[in-house]
Structure 1
Amino acid sequence: MDSSLLLKILGIFFLIGLNGFFVAVEFAAVASRRTRIEQLAKEKNGAVAIVRHWVESQEAKDRLIAASQVGITIASLALGDLGENTAAELLEPWLHEAAQQSAGFLGVILTALPAVLSLTIVTGLHVVLGEQVPKVASLRAPERTALFAARPMHAFTLLFHPFVWLLDRLATTVLRFLGLQPVGGHSAIYTVEELKLIVEESEESGVIEPEEREMLHAVFDLGNMVARQVMIPRTEMVCIPADASLDEVVELAAETLLTKFPVYEGDLDHILGILHTKDLVRVIHKGEQHNGSVRELTREALFLPETIRVDDLLAEFRRARQHIAILLDEYGGTAGLVTLEDLVEEILGDIQDAFDRQEPEIQPLSDGSYQVDGLALIEEVNDALGLNLSDPYYDTIAGFVMGRLGRIPELHDEVEVYDNGRHVWFRVEEMDGKRIARLRVQIRNDKQSPTT
């Protein structure tokens, strides 16, 4: 092998490596995490400053990627020219004699074979060593790759800046001619559904736990919920009349173990404010003088519409520095109340302290059926039982059943619905006045009657 052929072979591998360098830089710039770069920025070296600029500036990132594409194009074209000619030069002596000795169609094939083999070999080397390997390597360690390539890539970008700028202007002109608006296409912007899929994949790969997945999904769904869906309804509120004595309040607090009570005048549509039991304890402990009722101890309440979005509700809690709000319906009447704890439980699940006596809203029974609290949200029942129930007018499962009955429910009323190929039976097990307090739910894949 003469020296010129050896130089050509070395040139081929150099061009493959150069192509791989530009590919690695492009993917590293897109995949590098800003938080990781911020950590590395403490080192105060030039490479970190360059990469940080790539990550933080969309314009700089687009310019870098355009320069990478220029480099990839130059390397690929040069590789195609040099590689195929060199490979053909290596293979031709081996096949030339066989081609001369063969006649007809076989001779034609053997004559063309060096060009075909050279194209196959060069393309294979280019795809594997110049594309796939650097791409995977840079995605495995994007920050490290970006730091390694920062200075030479920065110099290349400066050197070819006029050419890159010209190509970018031409591309923008063509896009506008086609009626398309050029945008920065390399930023990682995801919809909520895409983020949920990422979370699901993270759980499947073992990066996060199932409980963490549920919390993240709850956070994503929180912005679509309104206060009415998480509130304590009016019928379940524990309130105090304004003329109640302190002894009566102490007795109620000891019985319910609650720490905040709405105070009303006449009826629940006229809430005066909120009584905090710590104010009551202070008065009793210090023996302060008062008129014997809770009216003077009442603090100003936060009133909000029941349709307020949950994220806006959180903002109102922060602004007013309160943890409880009275929710009003469209007519100005009291619809219910909501607390900060209710919102936290939407994310973390039920939080029960040593004083909580509440039973789970959905409990499996020994016969395969379920006992469900009437105030459980329809979506919570869907998640727990794998159903797909919905109702445009009601949020709770009790409302869902009442809507199907078309009247005020009575004890032992039954409702059957068909859901995704299954029959779902609801039976009213307990009433609280005119409200369904507890239901029994059975799911069957056939028409057999539920067990009683």
Structure 2
Amino acid sequence: MGDIHSSFLFGLLVFLIVCSAFFSSSETGMLSLNRYRLRHMAREGHKGARRASELLGRPDRLLGTILVGNNIVNILAASIATVIAVDIWGEAGIAISTVLLTIVVLIFGEITPKTLAALRPEQIAFPASHVLLLLMRLLYPVVWITGAISNLLLRLLGVDPQHRHSDSLSAEELRTVVRESGQSLPSNRQDMLLGILDLEKVTVNDIMVPRNEVTGIDLDDDLEQIVAQLYATTYTRLPVFRHDFNQVEGVIHMRQIARLLTHNTLTKESLLATCTQPYFVPESTPLSTQLINFQKEKRRMGIVVDEYGEVIGLVTLEDLLEEIVGEFTSQPTGDGQEVQAEDGGRYLIDASANIRDVNRKLGWHLPCDGPKTLNGLVTEALESIPDSGVCLKIGPYRLEILQAEGNRVTRLRAWQIGKPAEAQDDASTA
């Protein structure tokens, strides 16, 4: 009879250790679940995810249920282990059972199940949610009493138990999530998502075509010259102005005047009649706002003005979308590429190139919070219009001026010394 009794107690002890492992793994598994993946799975109808979401909706009750159950199991296991050990070793069995049970519980009831649950939270938490929901209802009175006492102590310590931190992500945190998405999200889609997030930090002034590079129709030109320009243009839309670009009359779409050109009936009056009203855009408008404004106004081109109302450039919907998806095509006009690679990690660069474009193409970190072009960066750093042959140092980057015409630098050679992490903000001449 004694052997049967001892076998029963030993079997019960093993069962209690298994229960301890269950509570330990359940706690770690539930708290290790990815909340955003959990919400997605719950919306998709996954039953385990819905049960887990219900449990995590009241974390105080969930933890109360797990801790009450775990403590009951561990106390019972300790008592039974003591009885078994005393039967075997007498009074010395108390100390022996304490040591042995501690080791067994740590290995089999805590460390191993918690590690497994941390590595496989969904496989542990979803099946365990069945039992936890049942136990939450059965142990509700005990959990409610212990929770009330715990909340009272928290209030005495100045902590509001009802206050919870928001699970919403900031833009920077969302960037981190996108970057760490790994192989689950292709790199090109990561770049697109990051580009959307960066729209808040970039303004129209950063991507506009500068005024001196804008191609438009001057109504003061001869009609023959205007017609020749329209036939030769590679653009779909052109601004129409009179004498000076500050006097923009409208924007012409080539499709609207194609018939006039075909039948050779184009006049300046008919050209103006087919123009749409110009759409003016403040230079400081964030791209995220401008994208919405383009959609509201049903426009694809905006005339950029500064704080004094002076026209300083032009921005298109294509320019804005390129910030998200990258360049669609190369520019239709121009003498060649803005950036040309040379041997030894050096590059020949058109000084009118946008600094952000150069950084993106070369993976550099030239400062772009001030001047927007390399010419502007050089002249600001030197505080003068340099001659060719001058070499400029900006952090780990070297800019050698190869050609300067009039009041601007037109071409330079650039290379990087050291690692990008060594970049500094100071600029000096060499």
Is the shorter-chain TM-score for this pair beyond 0.5, marking a shared fold? yes
Partner AA of 1:184 in structure 2: R
Q: Match for residue 192 of structure 1?
A: 171
Secondary structure of residue in 2 paired with 1:33: helix
Q: Match for residue 67 of structure 1?
A: 61
Secondary structure of residue in 2 paired with 1:429: strand
Partner AA of 1:416 in structure 2: L
Do structure 1's residue 225 and structure 2's residue 202 form an aligned pair? yes
Q: What is the CA-CA distance between 1:271 and the residue it aligns to?
A: 1.3
Name the CA distance, whole Å, in 1 between partners of 2:317 and 2:214.
15
Number of residue-to-residue matches in the alignment = 413
Secondary structure of residue in 1 paired with 2:188: helix
Q: What is the CA-CA distance between 1:226 and the residue it aligns to?
A: 0.7
Q: Match for residue 435 of structure 1?
A: 408
Do structure 1's residue 414 and structure 2's residue 390 form an aligned pair? yes
Name the CA distance, whole Å, in 2 between partners of 1:298 and 1:433.
36
- Could you tell me whether the CA contact under 8 Å between 1:16 and 1:75 is conserved in 2? no
Name the CA distance, whole Å, in 1 between partners of 2:79 and 2:259.
94
Q: Match for residue 132 of structure 1?
A: 115
Q: Match for residue 20 of structure 1?
A: 25
Name the CA distance, whole Å, in 1 between partners of 2:192 and 2:34.
31
Q: Structure 1 358/389 Cα, relative in aligned 2: closer, same or farther at 3 Å?
A: same
Do structure 1's residue 426 and structure 2's residue 399 form an aligned pair? yes
Name the CA distance, whole Å, in 2 between partners of 1:392 and 1:438.
22
- Could you tell me whether the CA contact under 8 Å between 2:65 and 2:143 is conserved in 1? no
Q: What is the CA-CA distance between 1:277 and the residue it aligns to?
A: 0.8
Secondary structure of residue in 2 paired with 1:84: helix
Q: Structure 1 403/52 Cα, relative in aligned 2: closer, same or farther at 3 Å?
A: same
Partner AA of 2:168 in structure 1: I
Name the CA distance, whole Å, in 1 between partners of 2:207 and 2:35.
40
Q: Match for residue 86 of structure 1?
A: 80
Q: Match for residue 95 of structure 2?
A: 112
Q: Match for residue 314 of structure 2?
A: 337
Q: Structure 1 258/436 Cα, relative in aligned 2: closer, same or farther at 3 Å?
A: farther
Name the CA distance, whole Å, in 2 between partners of 1:361 and 1:93.
88
Alignment of 1:4-403 (within 5 A): 4-21=9-26, 23-28=28-33, 30=35, 32-40=37-45, 47=47, 51-52=49-50, 55=53, 62-91=56-85, 112-128=95-111, 130-139=113-122, 141=123, 145-146=125-126, 148=127, 152-159=131-138, 178=157, 182-185=162-165, 188-203=167-182, 206-244=183-221, 247-285=224-262, 294-352=271-329, 359-385=336-362, 387-390=364-367, 393-403=370-380
Secondary structure of residue in 2 paired with 1:2: helix
Supply the RMSD in Å over aligned alpha carbons.
Answer: 3.6
Partner AA of 2:41 in structure 1: R
Give the TM-score of the pair, scaled to structure 1.
0.78
- Could you tell me whether the CA contact under 8 Å between 1:328 and 1:335 is conserved in 2? yes
Q: What is the CA-CA distance between 1:190 and the residue it aligns to?
A: 2.7
Partner AA of 2:13 in structure 1: K
- Could you tell me whether the CA contact under 8 Å between 2:32 and 2:118 is conserved in 1? yes
- Could you tell me whether the CA contact under 8 Å between 1:394 and 1:400 is conserved in 2? yes
Secondary structure of residue in 1 paired with 2:246: coil
Q: Structure 1 399/171 Cα, relative in aligned 2: closer, same or farther at 3 Å?
A: farther
Q: What is the CA-CA distance between 1:209 and the residue it aligns to?
A: 3.7
Q: Structure 1 16/343 Cα, relative in aligned 2: closer, same or farther at 3 Å?
A: same
- Could you tell me whether the CA contact under 8 Å between 2:192 and 2:324 is conserved in 1? yes
Name the CA distance, whole Å, in 1 between partners of 2:405 and 2:232.
19
Q: Structure 1 7/112 Cα, relative in aligned 2: closer, same or farther at 3 Å?
A: closer
Q: What is the CA-CA distance between 1:3 and the residue it aligns to?
A: 2.2
In structure 2, runs of 5+ residues without a counterpart are: 1-5, 419-430
